[in-house]
Amino acid sequence: MRISELSTRSGVPVATLKFYIREGLLPRGEAVSATNAEYGEEHLARVRLIAALADVRGLPLSRVREILALIDEPAPDPVETLGRAVGALPPYVEEADDYPRAREAIEHAGLTYEPRFAAVRQLDSAIRAIEDAGLRWDPSVLSRYADAMRAVAGEEVAPIAEMTLQDAVVYAVLGTALYEPVMLALRRLAHHHLLVSGAVPPPTESAAD
Amino acid sequence: MRISELSTRSGVPVATLKFYIREGLLPRGEAVSATNAEYGEEHLARVRLIAALADVRGLPLSRVREILALIDEPAPDPVETLGRAVGALPPYVEEADDYPRAREAIEHAGLTYEPRFAAVRQLDSAIRAIEDAGLRWDPSVLSRYADAMRAVAGEEVAPIAEMTLQDAVVYAVLGTALYEPVMLALRRLAHHHLLVSGAVPPPTESAAD
DNA sequence: GAGATTGGATAGTTTTGCTATCCAGTATTA
DNA sequence: TAATACTGGATAGCAAAACTATCCAATCTC
């Protein structure tokens, strides 16, 4: 197909496709003459993946690029590859020497502490933000989330066993990126439901300053 | 205190504080002379709240502004106010006439469908993204998340009953914004733990193209 | 009274993610 | 076959967001 068909089929403007090619997110079509190149289904799949990550999840293109690189050339160790791919998803936290809050929480929850894994520093900075804001943070709060997440993760991870690494990277990234909003929306809906159902009384009408 | 002290105590540069004042996020200090204004603890708290939302969570300032406006002047109905405040958090989804996917899921999960609530359209667009990407979406996937989130939400929402509306808005927004990353990080850590602990075999070494 | 600091205004900067324009060389179609 | 439309590719422009820097006159501090 030509670039204009790739554009209509993916819903991404031609100018943007050219931009993605320029930026190295999308491979060039196979040149068939001086002013003509052929794009295949794999280009379409690539564009849709980019759109899911950049458009739907709002990932910066630099992160999308990292993920695509891991799909194209996975690291030697599969767990490493999956970890890096998921690490390209937000939130983005700077590296540090140690993550004491995360380590304590992870040990308490019976998970694996691996400081190179992005989720460790995400957890650490999230806990720090909670403490700074004066919200509650203690083992009972931790296990409220850890228990729920352990249950969810077990079901999610199972299908990976039967995939190739490439497919697993796509599944892990898309699954992490796309199921997250579902989970968060359901949480907010559950809050809302508890309030409107009267199970929990709404707050006092307000203390006027 | 002067603006420079507000700056050192909050860690936000003076130029940025001035910018926040200009943008209406931070009230002006009380003018005490033509070139001097006094800032109080409430200014510091405000700056820290802005930092938590904008800096830590990466909210656009326009959304931070909405949240602050709701704290300053809550809507008549408390549930409405809380809903709007939480609606200013990401992800941001355009409004539509109907949210069929979300309605079906919400009814199936036994929650309250209220199309004006932002989480409803967040859920709808999240489900759409999952379908577009070809990931699984069926009642069993739904309840895997809904069950976990119902359990979590129950514990989170309880303290609201004893708060003033202002405090509840701050708690709801910060709690939603700051506990979310904890939850997501724990989920990723649980995935990782299952992989490295060998409970789930990693994917095949890859099918070289 | 001299230098530093303040509030306030205005203008400039950087990054990100596109769009728009241009061009010469095909394809298509009348 | 001649006009037209469309290609790939390069280059430049643009808009939004979130600061950051400079300037200024007033005024505080030593």
Interchain CB distance below 8 Å, B164 and A189: no
Measure B17 CA to D20 C1' (Å).
11
> What is the average per-residue pLDDT within A189-200?
91
Q: Which nucleotides of C are covered by protein (CB under 7 A)?
A: 5-10, 16-21, 24-27
Q: Which pLDDT score is estimated for B208?
A: 46
Question: What pLDDT was estimated at residue B205?
Answer: 61
> Hey, is the C-beta of A119 within 8 angstroms of any chain B C-beta?
yes
Look at residue B166 in the predicted model and tell me its pLDDT.
Answer: 87
Q: Looking at the complex, does the CB of residue A120 fall below 8 Å from at least one CB of chain B?
A: yes
The rounded mean pLDDT for chain A is: 92
CB contact under 8 A, A181 and B83: no
Q: Which residues of A touch B108 (CB under 8 A)?
A: none
Instruction: Give the residues of chain B that fall short of pLDDT 50.
Output: 208-209
Q: Are A94 and A124 in contact (CB under 8 A)?
A: no
DSSP letters spanning chain B: --HHHHHHHHT--HHHHHHHHHTTSSPPPEEEETTEEE--HHHHHHHHHHIIIIIIS---HHHHHHHHHHHHS--SSHHHHHHHHHHTSSPP----S--HHHHHHHHHHT----TTSHHHHHHHHHHHHHHHHT---SHHHHHHHHHHHHHHHHHHHGGGGGSBHHHHHHHHHHHHHHHHHHHHHHHHHHHHHHHHTTSSPPPBS----
| Interface list for A 175-204 with B (CB within 8 A) | 175-176, 178-197, 200-204
Query: Which residues are within 7 Å of strand D by their Cβ atom?
Result: A 2-5, 14, 18, 21-22, 28-29, 31, 35-37, 39; B 13, 15-16, 18-19, 32-36, 54, 60-62
Interval A136-164: pLDDT, tens: 999 999 999 999 999 999 999 999 988 99
Q: What is the pLDDT confidence band of residue A47, given thresholds at 50, 70 and 90?
A: very high
Instruction: Give the model's pLDDT for residue A133.
Output: 85
Q: Calculate the angstrom distance between C1' of D24 and CA of B30.
A: 21
The pLDDT of residue A208: 47
